Structure 1
């Protein structure tokens, strides 16, 4: 062992805090950026924010909600409002709604039961232990131990909870959940219960011939049983609010057709215009307290970089949307079937930026068009070459073609992946059987053998 001094040369990318902030801001959605700016305004005193005001710079106390609702109807910016109608004033409280959770819905049903309070209390305890799927997340033995009640009483209370709506609630597993639903629908058939207990995996694979052989019934009858079971709800909580917060979508831009041309209108109304407070500029010029001056300088540098980064973010997003609009004009004009293959690299090369910059800039961002709110990332698709054509075709369009072929097929003789491949080639879409299988699986469509109807 010995010590040596070696001279080596290597390249490293060291991201400063400012560079990291710039990347973070680019990735943020409008909603996230708005929250970030609000936080910065509280922490950095040198920043002034100027919010966009309405035409009167104030909100009248006697705001006419009837006129407001009519004015925004249909999302038409060239609206015309008729104020001459003598109609009842629309109250803002009519538009306030509350979410009712699954547990609240169940608790309300318990209150209406004609049962002693101690039984209601046990039922309420069980309801509080129902998970997000609608299943009971605690065993009878645990209930007996924790509440110090008898097992027979606990099972009685469980039956009460399981009799509530929605059907199948408070089951311990999927088999019990399905059987509860059958009982509540008065579908009492021993073969149905046997299939649930023993042959759910075969049912998932549509192996009706095997099930029929095991139960010694006709294949068509086994298929009928399968249709009944598949019509049941494996997650009873579906459709109820389970406590997850609503994710708000704020579009980055609006694409409007004005005088025959598509225009990009950046949605920056909720983002304030940031400026530097003049008071803190005078503190630097005064040079009285060195520590104070240094503090203000640091805050000024931070504020200037934030303003610069926000402007750069908006410019980058605008340029990307502008390039997308240029390449996908037919899509915005005529619909999804005209969506062309487009990759991140293609946009990045045209704009002279790195591919990762485009990827960050479109992350969780949306644009609003006359077709609705669209996720920008969904416009990027790979392409498949067409026979006798130099232009590619979007994989989204190919998936739609595959889906349509499967929907229109003879269910007694479903199309194989190879047959779909051959039909697509007749339509000048050059695609392999393996690609057909890949797209079919991505759309959660089963293979031909599992789609077959008897």
Structure 2
């Protein structure tokens, strides 16, 4: 057997993605909340990063109407052949300035006065009682035995924010070390607590408890609440048959039920409602120009502490410490560059969206154009995947309200008259308009909606109308007819 050594050259293609590129792709698709969490983690790991996070409550402006004298912004004119006028390009800043700079005497006095005012408010306004605290405070009056009090407290811990006990008693029994009958007995006592309706397992039971508390739980009302699904569908004839009453009597009972609280625990809910905050602000000036800017109140500030870096470099460090400090400086630099690139990319893509959806910005949702990722990508000079990441979990504030950037992308439906294609979102909007304008005596079937859309030049199939109606959680025409007639007769809102 002959063994030989041979040397030869071979070309091979491979893709290497740097850590900096990976970080850039990651933070581009972050929402503002995810970005804040990520930056907090980076600041904890890197002593050269000074971080100041925004207060989201300052980031929800009023829906814009006209831009008046705004100077620090990135603007884009949507007139043909126009160019960008960049007045402030760095939404994120990097440099040696420390965020811990000492405020002026006037600023310090103002902050002190505000803090004093807050202290006074906190001292004079008691904290809001939670549902859990409110229920636990009633246990001592309802139960004498200590073991019963402990069981009641355990059950209350399983209540949700609406005041319901969603878990089954057979599931809780082995967890709490008691039999299901004991749980049922204890729960029955808790259901007598304030507010009326807490401790219910479902909506029907919740409403029964409230009616019983008011002394209005009649047998026919109880039967009606046992079939609350029929009430939700406004199947008045079926309910009249089950309760042995007239249709008018059923509608009177329905009107009485509407005065009850389906979520009694919510009045004690003091947790903040998580809102969607606008990443992009769009305005139209008096001369017709569209201005697009990043919401500066939502942007974190990341500064590289170069002064601290210079001080550390002058000290005697071993090789491991030197390498750590150099890596920290390099990583901080990457982060600030990637944050700036993220801001510029989002702004560029949002500007193209605003340019292509100019009629929507001017005239409203019914004028939304069909738009694909590739259309924006080609205009912005980026890849489709970049557009996909940039619009993820981002919101735009317009004169017509707050919209997720994904809202502006939709498929097209052909026009019958050869005119401009309609977006699927626009068609859904028109379907909703037609249904909202219905009269109780003239409710439109899906076929009638198709005919109405075709008369306005929109080609759409009946199954498409049904699909869009289901997406908007709009019931069928028979159910809408029942609801509208009942509401018209008894002035239901």
* TM-score normalized by the length of structure 2: 0.69
Match of 1:421 in 2: 450
Structure 2 stretches lacking a partner, 5+ long: 1-9, 51-93, 486-493
Match of 1:21 in 2: 23
- Does 2:328 correspond to 1:299? yes
CA shift in 2, pair 1:168/1:11, >3 Å:
farther
Match of 1:80 in 2: none
CA shift in 2, pair 1:46/1:447, >3 Å:
same
Match of 2:265 in 1: 237
- Does 2:38 correspond to 1:36? yes
Q: How does 1:191-270 map to 2 (within 5 A)?
A: 191-197=220-226, 199-219=227-247, 221-222=249-250, 225=253, 233-238=261-266, 240-241=268-269, 246-247=273-274, 249-258=276-285, 260=287, 261-268=289-296, 270=299
Identify the range of structure 1 (284-293 vs 301-310) with the bigger mean alpha-carbon deviation.
284-293
- Does 2:398 correspond to 1:343? no
Which of 391, 412, 423 does residue 420 from structure 2 map onto? 391
CA deviations on 1:127-150 (whole Å, 9 max, x unpaired) are 333234422346499789969899
Cα deviation, residue 416, structure 1: 0.9
Contact 2:196-2:264 at 8 Å conserved across structures: yes
For residue 389 of structure 2, give the secondary structure of its aligned residue in structure 1: helix
User: In 1, Cα distance between the equivalents of 2:177 and 2:460?
Assistant: 63
CA shift in 2, pair 1:58/1:398, >3 Å:
farther
Cα deviation, residue 320, structure 1: 0.9
Q: How does 1:28-107 map to 2 (within 5 A)?
A: 28-47=30-49, 50=97, 60-63=107-110, 94=121, 100-107=129-136
CA shift in 2, pair 1:259/1:159, >3 Å:
same
- Does 2:199 correspond to 1:170? yes
CA shift in 2, pair 1:227/1:65, >3 Å:
farther
Contact 2:280-2:294 at 8 Å conserved across structures: yes
For residue 416 of structure 2, give the secondary structure of its aligned residue in structure 1: coil
Which of 382, 392, 409 does residue 353 from structure 1 map onto? 382
User: In 2, Cα distance between the equivalents of 1:295 and 1:173?
Assistant: 58
Match of 1:190 in 2: 219
Match of 2:87 in 1: none
Cα deviation, residue 447, structure 1: 0.5
CA deviations on 1:258-304 (whole Å, 9 max, x unpaired) are 56333333334652253362664798899985444433343333233
Q: CA RMSD in A?
A: 4.5
Match of 1:436 in 2: 465
CA deviations on 1:291-350 (whole Å, 9 max, x unpaired) are 444333433332332222112111101101111221223333343344333333321222
Contact 2:223-2:242 at 8 Å conserved across structures: no
Match of 1:377 in 2: 406
RCO comparison, higher one (Cα < 8 Å, 6+)? 2
CA shift in 2, pair 1:296/1:438, >3 Å:
same
Match of 2:490 in 1: none
Which of 274, 279, 293 does residue 303 from structure 2 map onto? 274
User: In 2, Cα distance between the equivalents of 1:428 and 1:51?
Assistant: 61
Structure 1 stretches lacking a partner, 5+ long: 1-7, 69-88
CA shift in 2, pair 1:227/1:20, >3 Å:
farther
User: In 2, Cα distance between the equivalents of 1:254 and 1:60?
Assistant: 29
Match of 1:333 in 2: 362
User: In 1, Cα distance between the equivalents of 2:183 and 2:334?
Assistant: 67
CA deviations on 1:17-46 (whole Å, 9 max, x unpaired) are 433321211112334434433432332234
Contact 1:143-1:154 at 8 Å conserved across structures: no
Cα deviation, residue 126, structure 1: 3.9
CA deviations on 1:74-109 (whole Å, 9 max, x unpaired) are xxxxxxxxxxxxxxx976855999554322343456
CA shift in 2, pair 1:370/1:302, >3 Å:
same
For residue 265 of structure 2, give the secondary structure of its aligned residue in structure 1: coil
Contact 2:349-2:376 at 8 Å conserved across structures: yes
User: In 2, Cα distance between the equivalents of 1:183 and 1:114?
Assistant: 18
